């Protein structure tokens, strides 16, 4: 019988912090769950750690990839391995408060119109809390308004924490596979917002470690094996992807009608660079200018 919840953890070479994520997931007050880990061919002590934890708790299921498939492919892989009635992602250096799953499940059970539920996030750097934004609820009744509201809010949360919402499997199965592009997570959450309302619950339910792969655009591009040019104009690349995803590529928006769909695509895509003119100018500046900017920050 399938568990009520799957917590999916993609990992690569994270032996130093992965155990914290595993302990928090397996230590949830809601016990009817599985924790599924896709190890992206780690070369450090990650496999040994996973084997040790799995030997103590049968709810942990580990699949090791034969070769490093890249970050996005590993995300898709770990989600495909889940069997639970509800599914959430957890980054391998983040961790959950004990009642995170219980609280999110209760919210989904109380409101059939929700596509996702998540808690407030505490960002941490070097063991100390830091201010790095917060996700906001997306309560709008009309799908297009929710998607617009999401794109208006996404830059105010450092880590796009909506990605880590607990979602019903029926919603998960409607989402498009993630593509290896800058902003793949923005495209993902926009589809989620189209499919239903998203609620941010009171209380600190998720803790996120700053400094991972997505900490800088350059590192993100490099480790995703994308063209280096994408690190120079990330918001323009994201705008292009948003236009294509909403405008014609994704089946999620098919019911919107052609004109409404293209209008939404144009509004959301144009808003990405328009809301980030300072960052666009920064990324287009010579390296020496960027270094001086960082030195003053």
pLDDT tens track for 249-266: 999 999 999 999 999 999
User: 1-93 adopts what CATH topology?
Assistant: Spore Coat Polysaccharide Biosynthesis Protein SpsA; Chain A (3.90.550)
The DSSP result for 16-68, as a single string, is: TTHHHHHHHHHT-S--SEEEEEEE----SSHHHHHHHHHHH-TTEEEEE-SS-
Alpha carbons 20 and 167: distance in angstroms, whole number: 23
pLDDT tens track for 131-151: 888 999 999 999 999 999 999
- The pLDDT score that the predictor gives to residue 31 is 97
Q: Confirm if 218 and 182 have CB atoms less than 8 A apart.
A: no
In the chain, what is the straight-line distance between the N-terminal and C-terminal CA atoms, in Å? 53
- The pLDDT score that the predictor gives to residue 11 is 97
- The pLDDT score that the predictor gives to residue 230 is 73
- Structure token pair of residue 117: 């539920």
pLDDT tens track for 82-120: 999 999 999 999 999 999 999 999 999 999 999 999 999
Percent of the chain with pLDDT over 90: 76
Instruction: Give the 3-state secondary structure of residue 216.
Output: coil
pLDDT tens track for 9-29: 999 999 999 999 999 999 999
- The pLDDT score that the predictor gives to residue 289 is 64
For residue 294, is pLDDT > 60? Answer: no
pTM: 0.90
pLDDT tens track for 194-249: 999 999 999 899 999 987 655 567 777 777 777 776 777 788 899 999 999 999 99
CATH 3.90.550.10 maps onto the chain at: 1-93
Give the pLDDT band of residue 293 (cuts 50, 70, 90).
Answer: low
pLDDT tens track for 150-188: 999 998 888 899 999 999 999 999 999 999 999 999 999
């Amino acid at each position: 019988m399938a568990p009520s919840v799957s917590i999916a953890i993609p990992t690569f070479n994270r032996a130093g912090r992965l155990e914290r994520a595993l302990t928090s997931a397996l230590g949830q007050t809601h016990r009817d769950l599985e924790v599924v880990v896709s190890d992206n061919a780690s070369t450090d002590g990650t496999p040994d750690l996973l084997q040790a934890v799995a030997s103590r708790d049968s709810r942990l299921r580990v699949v090791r990839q034969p070769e490093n498939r890249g970050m996005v492919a590993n995300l898709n892989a770990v989600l495909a391995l889940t069997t639970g009635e509800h599914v959430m992602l957890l980054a391998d250096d983040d961790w959950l408060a004990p009642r995170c799953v219980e609280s999110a499940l209760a919210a989904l059970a109380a409101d059939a119109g929700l596509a996702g539920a998540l808690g407030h996030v505490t960002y941490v750097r070097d063991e100390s809390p830091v201010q790095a934004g917060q996700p906001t609820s997306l309560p709008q009744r009309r799908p297009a308004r929710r998607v617009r509201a999401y794109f208006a809010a996404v830059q105010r949360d450092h880590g796009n924490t909506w990605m880590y919402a607990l979602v019903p499997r029926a919603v998960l199965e409607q989402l498009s596979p993630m593509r290896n592009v800058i902003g793949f997570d923005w495209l993902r959450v926009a589809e989620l917002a189209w499919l239903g309302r998203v609620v941010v619950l009171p209380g600190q339910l998720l803790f996120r470690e700053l400094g991972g792969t997505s900490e800088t655009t350059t590192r993100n591009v490099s480790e995703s094996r994308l063209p280096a040019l994408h690190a120079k104009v990330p918001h323009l690349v994201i705008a292009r992807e948003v236009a294509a995803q909403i405008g014609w590529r994704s089946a999620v928006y098919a019911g919107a009608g052609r004109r409404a769909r293209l209008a939404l695509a144009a509004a959301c895509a144009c808003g990405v660079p328009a809301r980030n003119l300072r960052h666009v100018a920064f990324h287009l500046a010579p390296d020496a200018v960027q270094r001086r900017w960082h030195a003053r920050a």
